Amino acid sequence: MGNIMRKCVLVAILFASVAAFANGASAADPAKAEAGAMTYDAYCSACHGVELNNTAPGVTFDLRRLRADEHSRFVNSVLNGKSQMPPWRGVLDPEQIDAIWTYIRATVDR
């Protein structure tokens, strides 16, 4: 992803976080969401799509469909793999996985 596009995404995440906080929801940590975006880009985007835009429906799970209450499902799938997705245990640490979750939530919950 180009620097300009990444900056646009990060600005959008920041504004979404501020808006969520202003509406009484807990705001996502923009720095954590940015770290999650970079980790997602490096490890997840090849299969799940650039900026969560899954371009292969039916082949890989569309992460935008994850609900906020499915954090444990997400972590389990990342650590242990699911269907064609390989396990990332030992590759991604808990902080990276949590940052990816923060990025997904910040993007989906705008």
pLDDT tens for residues 67-83? Answer: 999 999 999 999 999 99
Cβ-based neighbour number of residue 5 at 10 Å: 11
Task: Please state the pTM of the whole predicted model.
Answer: 0.73
Across the chain, the runs of DSSP E, i.e. the strands, are none
Of the pLDDT bands very low, low, confident and very high (cuts 50, 70, 90), residue 9 is low
What is the number of structural domains in the chain? 1
| CATH of residue 31 | 1.10.760.10
CA 11 to each of CA 18, 81, 85, 106: distance values in angstroms, whole numbers, following the listed order: 11, 31, 30, 11
Choice between 79 and 2, residue whose per-residue pLDDT is larger: 79
Range of the domain at 36: 3-108
Of the pLDDT bands very low, low, confident and very high (cuts 50, 70, 90), residue 26 is very low
* CA-based end-to-end distance of the chain: 21
Burial of 75 (0-12, 13-18, 19+ CB in 10 A): middle
